[in-house]
Chains A and B, each alone.
Chain A
């Protein structure tokens, strides 16, 4: 999807709200402010949702604001601590636990049944649940697959997607020739690393008797990192950046990259940059160690929260119900190639090559360590820095020990 257009939509929404910025009297429309992350929903979908919702709910004026990722943690914290917060906020599933634990989020446990929470995706529902109370309402999920350029595959004579990691390395090496890159994998794509580590039987951090411990220095984790290093070397992905810098779909769109690791929805963004790639993109699940099952992947996604400081609790809940409901979930899944928030809705994805690959991988989906402090580990980018260090030649064991100690400290620092 196009960020520019998306953001333009936000401006229109803003211009509209600027005009209605009078004190609300009893008869006037109730304004609901919603924060949606950049890249979550297309502009068209957002707009049609707004129109329909406002038509169906007399007296509600939706203000859908697109939020940039930069500095979002600070803004959400400030919003939760304010006296007049936005009414609904989308938060990443690795972040939701810390907000839920803070006491600034409305407890929606009583609404689980009404929201049909019995078959929510666990990767979204669990982090939103603290001590048996449900604060975060699952919104959507996505996991990464390998997206490949069919032309470059044909040129290199590769026909079948790999079934195992070894085959994958072999094929990628074959693709990495001349001006073409076998794979464009940036040095800091830590979700991919997490998957490789899980495949080896390791983890990012483990809980031992109530204490968390960073686990990147285990032999399993080091093996995962070693595979990452070998794969990363088969292309020119920058070792000191993540996939957003530069946006990897732009790099892929230039047609010199045979494969990237991304959510299937990236295909739409690639086509916006380079329409000629229509029909030239293929997808396969990230290969596992053996051919009998695909690699483990990180389940990414978002939850919706209602800040306790929202002055429109009931209206906000109604809106969450609509956003998490079957109708919008179906539309969202189709438009964005996301996995809907309930397993029973997964059928809407049938018939799409990209989402089929994603669904195959999703069976092996996992989440980051379930502790409110995990968000701090992400925010300090220590894993990314560890990866860059190893890829640029530092001793893996030493670096892994260092980063594991840092993670241990961060996870046990209380909140």
Chain B
């Protein structure tokens, strides 16, 4: 990196990004913040003239049971998904390094194919896969001898719907994480592995002592990106279950959307969103700190 310049150039270069962010992100965000402190419902959206409500919306939210239930569910949802994604993609990445060229290329293409499938198309496909009467998943399970799955209605049961959504999100997320980690693995000099092996390290030991430290940054990045993406994941859930059945798949973004767009409580919805941002920022604060230091 060069010495600090006092030229105007860097500022000119970031100007378009800053301008775009100011008008299309910061301004709406400020508006949403203001709305979260107002009495702002369908009437106010249409007629205007919202009045200040102070902390009423936040108080209503934090006093209600539902918010805490949703928050807990979001935490579980994020944890399950991120753990599965990181574990599986690490496995796949390690596998990719060891595969022969032909199979490796085939697997990489397959991963990228899944990654490139648009979310809404993939979600529609999963609805079809898990359809109760003609779905191939039920057929497979019955064929394998699990007879209780004959005509099983996945989307009637909260836990089952939750599970289908986890499978869907993991299926969609593993490719990016696996390809990224694989890329990272290829940058580790093979001498390091050899010397570790000469020292008599077993497979898991080598992973813990060589691979992990070398890729700590990369793991942190992948994990925090996945935390953001999974916690904020919305279209899959909305299209597949609309947060149902019985709220079993209502995570924070779905809750915010429902409160705002379905109940027309734009004020309360904004409050949910603001809290989501704060929580995510807190959860990822160490990562942010690292970026500042960099």
A residues sitting closer than 8 Å to B (CB atoms) are 73-74, 77, 80-81, 98, 101-104, 187, 238-240, 308, 376, 379-381, 385-386, 388-389, 392, 402, 410, 413-415
- Chain A residues with Cβ below 8 Å from B41 are 414-415
Please tell me if the beta carbons of A376 and B132 are within 8 angstroms of each other in the complex. Answer: no
- Whole-angstrom CA separation of A288 from B184 in the bound complex: 71
- Chain A residues with Cβ below 8 Å from B42 are 77, 98, 102, 415
Most interface-central of A104, A239, A240 (chain B CB within 10 A): A240
- Whole-angstrom CA separation of A308 from B261 in the bound complex: 21
Please tell me if the beta carbons of B153 and A103 are within 8 angstroms of each other in the complex. Answer: no
- Is residue B14 contacting chain A, with contact meaning CB distance below 8 A? no
Most interface-central of B41, B43, B258 (chain A CB within 10 A): B43
Known: A376-B264, A380-B258, A388-B245. 9 other contacts (CB 8 A): A81-B45, A98-B42, A104-B46, A238-B153, A240-B245, A376-B263, A381-B244, A392-B156, A392-B157
Nearest CB to that of B257 among chain A residues?
Answer: A74
Given A240-B153, A240-B245, A392-B156, verify A103-B263 contact (CB < 8 Å).
no
Could you pull out 17 A-B pairs where Cβ atoms are within 8 angstroms?
A77-B264, A80-B46, A98-B42, A187-B156, A238-B133, A239-B153, A240-B153, A240-B155, A240-B156, A376-B264, A380-B258, A385-B244, A388-B156, A392-B153, A392-B156, A413-B265, A415-B41
Nearest CB to that of B133 among chain A residues?
Answer: A238
- Chain A residues with Cβ below 8 Å from B242 are 381
List residues of B (146-165) whose CB comes within 8 Å of A's CBs: 153, 155-157
B residues sitting closer than 8 Å to A (CB atoms) are 41-43, 45-47, 132-133, 153, 155-157, 242, 244-246, 258, 261-265
Separation in Å of the A376 CB from the closest CB of chain B?
A: 5
- Whole-angstrom CA separation of A389 from B245 in the bound complex: 9
Please tell me if the beta carbons of A238 and B132 are within 8 angstroms of each other in the complex. Answer: yes
The 9 A-B residue pairs with the shortest CB-CB distance, nearest first, are A240-B156, A104-B46, A379-B262, A103-B47, A102-B42, A81-B46, A240-B153, A376-B263, A385-B246
- Chain A residues with Cβ below 8 Å from B264 are 77, 98, 376, 415
- Chain A residues with Cβ below 8 Å from B245 are 240, 385, 388-389
Separation in Å of the A92 CB from the closest CB of chain B?
A: 15
Given A104-B47, A385-B244, verify A380-B153 contact (CB < 8 Å).
no
Nearest CB to that of B245 among chain A residues?
Answer: A385
